Structure 1
């Protein structure tokens, strides 16, 4: 089969839900909520654009379960049914061309900016590394009541997403947010039954999954985005990841998306050379690995030998040939795309029509070492393209890094101040 035939095949999930092709828009934090953290008209408009572009499965980004704990300004928070009409419009727009849409649910834990939260919490009171402490405060260790409240909030949000017409939900268990913090022995140094062994550290995500399943039923799709590794010494590693994945697969999870890294070690925005360095490996990356594009395919191949649940790999895909090869190899069932769909939202339709596709995405460098190392600039620049599409405009292909940095810093300051005001009024 050629690339369009391979990638155009439908995929049936364990609960019988069918994804019409092998393309998935990975969750991207849109920050298109209102200042009081509600759904805006920009979100249905944005997801209508991806639906028209042919994406088979779209994941929303970073819907928060607790308004006291935000990842960024202008997140959407889902605690009750006050936005049900707009939530239904969002889901309907994303599904308008026959694709599916899942809501990603998240709690940032300590990965919440100081300007938004003066009282962050995490499994343990472990601060970020020194150069990041200007942005993120030292968290307090969560109490048992905090933990149980979070589990209930994840389940409640899942039930509301189902009511709104979303086809499923995804637990954000990657990139250093709360679920990821529980899984990591670096961030989770608890001495009770929520910490220590991997069996204890994964107890939180297992209980979140079970509570969600109880709240939504067996026919509703539930997945997880999880790290193959944190790429931090003493952190969550590939053996831990395999244990978590096999446990959740045994419990009936419908899809596992594989990514990697945290804000401190942003592997999700970098390549294989970065991964090897963070793992203490000095050997050069094999040319065959580079040609395979996606950063986490080797881990996916290992995991495939252990679980039957469908796997999605996100990070690094840039050509239709590389995407098709990953699916043909059996390493993954869905191709996860983030940044490429920010600048070319119709790329799925183009590939399925037979186009030999190569993405225009390339690294954005500002020249400010700390900013480039943290990858926050790239995240913010791509968010700007989502905002353009949310207004009905075409995204830009690429800007010069320094001027994008100035624009993004101004925007973050402006929105952060108004977000505070909006929260005080809410």
Structure 2
């Protein structure tokens, strides 16, 4: 595992101790006040013991009025600063970086827990062929709201740095607000925030610049970016390449590649035939991206064997191998790879018999595994998907979540 165990020097001067990273997953483990719960904090303590070079958290929302899930952590001020410090300290003494993924859901927010939905334009979310997947039509953000949201990203990053986290990642993929601004399908504005790619990319560039101005030149800032939206009229591969050029010129530290949105969820398991034998979902894309940037690249999606990860790292097309769901079933995954004690890390895909809900069911099934980890329990691969779903309904209704 020579390549996976190599250090990585980031543009700002920080170092990752190795090339394995836990990518962000939905966690849904805040307390009722959207502070990190003891269960969530303990889950990261367990992961930190596993030897990854980098742990990236699930969504940390920058605005309490825009929440993707009922138990997302929100950091918009310093009211939960001591808990944030406890979360950041979970990696002390391990050599592991811990970066919160900071996000605004835009129109892709749960309407049951948000008074209104906002986005670049009044374009509703489409799921399962429906043109109005949410009952609420998103309201187009005003210029003042756009600027305030950019500032919110910067403020959240500054608070997290002060709390002790070693970097942050902007969520610019999977159909959330940054991704919405980039998409000509979700963003039909006719002002300086819409239209041409230069205008649509203005939002993500200003978010990055605001964060950078607050945290300094040496503090790591990463981004998760779509290779494409995989939707007609959406953000294309060619446009994604251009955004990589723009972000690289700004000096960003790490670009994680994913793809798709919840309208077209390529990140949940689809892969081209040409890349199936190489495990990774977006390997073709990252090989092209490598030709246009020297910025460190992280690829997430599909890696399931130690040999496949090592081969990808050795190829030079990427610098960091990202995994998400396998970390819930094999929390010591890096240590097991480096010691040679395990070679395969299969994830599970839960099927319910109702195809339309399988994607959502898998999200909450893995959330339940993270919760077990945070409660010092072993993973439970035989956990019933429908039992998890019923527990999630209790959460939505404000009852005790098992």
TM-score (norm 1): 0.91
2:20 is aligned with 1:23: yes
Map of 2:207 onto structure 1: 208
Query: Aligned-pair distance for 1:142?
Result: 0.7
Query: Aligned-pair distance for 1:376?
Result: 1.2
Query: Aligned-pair distance for 1:409?
Result: 2.9
Map of 1:88 onto structure 2: 85
CA distance in 2, matches of 1:44, 1:113: 24
**Equivalent pair of 2:154/2:207 in contact (CA under 8 Å):** yes
1:164/1:136 Cα in 2 relative to 1: closer, same or farther (>3 Å)? farther
Map of 1:395 onto structure 2: 379
Map of 2:31 onto structure 1: 34
- For structure 2, which runs of at least 5 residues remain unmatched after alignment? none
CA distance in 2, matches of 1:290, 1:38: 40
**Equivalent pair of 1:110/1:136 in contact (CA under 8 Å):** no
Query: Aligned-pair distance for 1:349?
Result: 0.2
RMSD: 1.4
CA distance in 2, matches of 1:40, 1:81: 16
2:362 is aligned with 1:382: no
Map of 2:187 onto structure 1: 188
- For structure 1, which runs of at least 5 residues remain unmatched after alignment? 274-284, 420-426
**Equivalent pair of 1:109/1:181 in contact (CA under 8 Å):** yes
CA distance in 2, matches of 1:98, 1:261: 32
Write the deviation string for residues 154-197 of structure 1: whole angstroms up to 9, x where unpaired.
00000001001111110000000000000000000001110011
Query: Aligned-pair distance for 1:356?
Result: 5.0
CA distance in 2, matches of 1:356, 1:59: 23
Q: How does 1:14-163 map to 2 (within 5 A)?
A: 14-129=11-126, 130-131=129-130, 133-135=132-134, 137-163=136-162
1:324 to 310, 319, 332: 310
**Equivalent pair of 1:35/1:418 in contact (CA under 8 Å):** no
Task: Give the 3-state SS of the residue equivalent to 2:137 in structure 1.
Answer: coil
Of the structure 1 ranges 52-61 and 408-417, higher mean CA displacement relative to structure 2 is found in 408-417
Q: How does 1:235-314 map to 2 (within 5 A)?
A: 235-273=234-272, 285-286=273-274, 289-314=275-300
Map of 2:320 onto structure 1: 334
CA distance in 2, matches of 1:248, 1:149: 21
CA distance in 1, matches of 2:365, 2:134: 18
Write the deviation string for residues 305-362 of structure 1: whole angstroms up to 9, x where unpaired.
1000000000000000110111111111000010000111111101001235111313
TM-score (norm 2): 0.96
**Equivalent pair of 1:53/1:349 in contact (CA under 8 Å):** yes
